[in-house]
Structure 1
Amino acid sequence: MTATFTSSFRKAGLALIFAASISAVTSTSGFAFSAEAQSMCTGDAFRLCSSEIPNIPAITSCMIKQRASLSSGCRTVLDRDLAAQKSGKLAAQ
């Protein structure tokens, strides 16, 4: 029972770290991941990029590098958010 509780507690902690990391990316690098992307990609981030937590730029870079391995839902929203960010930067220049 204790092992199950510890595992669940650790997963919840990692989820909070990832959410905080995504939130910080929004404020520090100007890239705004949508709430949908956070929801759809949290599992992929843990599965593919957990070694990068809590390094925010490294998590973002890892997710982009691992695009082919992302779940379809995460890939869809990540691509949409990246495209929106690029078009926003182009419009601002």
Structure 2
Amino acid sequence: MTRNQTIATLFALATTAIAIPTSPSFAFSSEAQQMCSGDAMRLCSSEIPDIPRIRACMVQKKAQVSPGCRAVMDREHSAATGSRKREAAAQ
């Protein structure tokens, strides 16, 4: 894996983690990598390699991300919110 591929994977992981930082079943998707790596590199490259800072940067700059990345972020946020609600209801 090249350095750029490694960085892109790191960004994809951080980008996906934006919406689901507390989910126990966390796994970043290839869709998130495809849709958000460019945005993460463009908007948050100064935060490498600190994943929490990349995550915070992407959330802060969500209005500037591409429509595809925003859709992934929104979908994963909705899924995480639903999961947390189900966990709370089960308790």
Verify same fold: TM over 0.5: yes
The Cα offsets for residues 1-53 of structure 1, whole Å up to 9 and x where unpaired, read as xxxxxxxx55334224434656888xx74354432112100000000011112
CA distance 1:66–1:11, shift in 2 (3 Å): same
Q: Answer with 1 or 2: which has the greater Rg.
A: 1
CA distance 1:37–1:69, shift in 2 (3 Å): same
- Show the counterpart of 2:87: 92
TM-score with structure 2 setting the length: 0.71
More relative contact order in 1 or in 2 (CA 8 Å, sep 6+)? 2
CA distance 1:72–1:20, shift in 2 (3 Å): closer
Q: Which runs of 5+ in 2 are unaligned?
A: none
- Considering only aligned residues, what root-mean-square deviation do their CA atoms show, in Å? 2.7
1:43 partnered with 2:43: no
Q: Which runs of 5+ in 1 are unaligned?
A: 1-8
Instruction: Specify which structure has the higher proportion of helix.
Output: 1
TM-score with structure 1 setting the length: 0.70
